[in-house]
Each structure stands twice: as C-alpha cells, then as structure tokens.
Amino acid sequence: MSEKNSLDDKIKKLDEKVEWFYSDDFKIEEATKKYKEAITLAKEVQRGLDELKNEIEVLKEDFSK
C-alpha cells in the first residue's frame, strides 16, 4: 500500500506544480525550474502507473487460468 500512497502523493504534488502556472504566484523567472520539476515528477508518476498496469495484467492473467 505504501507504493500507492507514494504514487498518490506524487500525483498531488504534480497537480500543485501545474496549478502554480495558473496562479497569481507565477513568475516567468521561476517557470523553467518549475517546469523541469513537473516533468521529472510526471515521469515518476508515469513509471508508477506503468508498474500498476503491469501488476494488474499479471493478476488478470492469473485469474484467467
């Protein structure tokens, strides 16, 4: 379960980073740094989702036997 919580946390953090671009706190000078952070986090989320997908496919395969 801790992996899922970790993935949930990463998704929430990514949402917060994306929302920053639409907020009153947006500063063009910080945009590149924030964008790079968001991209890194998005890749981590994608890896986590891919792992979950693989796990689900394995479980699905086990149940179909």
SS3 content of the chain, % helix, strand, coil (to 5): 85, 0, 15
pTM, whole model, 2 decimals? 0.77
pLDDT value for 2: 54
The amino acid occupying position 58 is: V
Low-confidence residues in the chain, pLDDT < 70: 1-5, 65
Cα dist from 56 to 3, 25, 49, 50, whole Å: 14, 40, 10, 10
Per-residue pLDDT tens over the stretch 50-65 = 999 999 999 888 777 6
pLDDT value for 1: 43
pLDDT value for 4: 57
Q: Tokens 């946390």 belong to which residue?
A: 9
Domain limits, the chain: 2-64
